[in-house]
Amino acid sequence: MSADPRLDLRIEAGIARLTIRRPDKLNALDAEMVEALLPLCRRIERSDARVVILTGEGGRSFCAGGDIAAWSQLSPEDFSRRWLRDGHAAFDALTRLAQPVIAVLNGHCLGGGLELAACADYRLAEAHVRIGLPETSLGIIPGWSGTQRAVRRFGAGPVRRMALFGEVFGADEAQRLGLVDRVVPTGEGMAAAKALAAQVIARAPRATEITKMLINAAEGEERERVLEALAGSVAAASDDLREGLAAFREKRSARFGEMGSSRA
């Protein structure tokens, strides 16, 4: 469960299923939901889940983005300090999960909803889905990395068409443009996601995690952290570390040169 019941997390049989449950508001996110997303990502990261499925409740909307009634009442300072920063922290955490993330777009995916979907490693769209970035029509910008991560993942062309010219794409056109990876018939998104999840679970877990980190780094996502994490894992597996810790505990000088295997 979650601190916010509108974000439902269930972990079972190696799959973490995260569902936005606010269908009466088209699964739009308010400030409390955004704040609750970050600790949920930490729970997933530390769990035994091997893959994540992200979706919205109902068939009308995967996520309609930020709740206009929520953010439009904020002062400019709160909008910047809380809404945008909290959103970036949560979306960054979702993007950087060790586990591959599959987004099931089982309804329309607009504004912050597309920015949320861009955090996933694979996007499944049901046939009725519409995708767009309408923020500039409201006098605001795509603020949760819609001009940054979305461009890195989808290319500048389709992002320009949505954000600057107001184009809204259907599922098939979105697939052609690379916004989604696969289109399935309406109602079949979750079944397709579970089949994909089974493919992930069948693969080597550590190799999968490292490969995702390397792909993220190649995209410019958390490059410094990836480099240090991978280097740290190599050092942690070495005899040098074991000797260094033993020397510290025994209050003696480390004898690295005598270990030999650290240079193998």
Contact of 208 with 200, CB cutoff 8 Å: yes
115 burial class (0-12, 13-18, 19+ CB within 10 angstroms)? buried
Non-local CB neighbours of 191 within 8 Å, separated by 6+ positions:
none
Question: Which helix (H) or strand (E) covers residue 131, if one does?
Answer: strand 130-132
Contact of 222 with 96, CB cutoff 8 Å: yes
Q: What single DSSP character describes residue 182?
A: E
Q: In the Cβ-directed half-sphere of 211, how many Cα atoms lie within 13 Å?
A: 9
Residue 237 corresponds to which tokens in the numbers above? 């597996």
List the catalytic residues: 115, 135
Q: List b or e across 68-87, with b for residues whose CB sees 16 or more CB atoms inside 10 angstroms.
A: eebbeeeeeeebeebbbebb
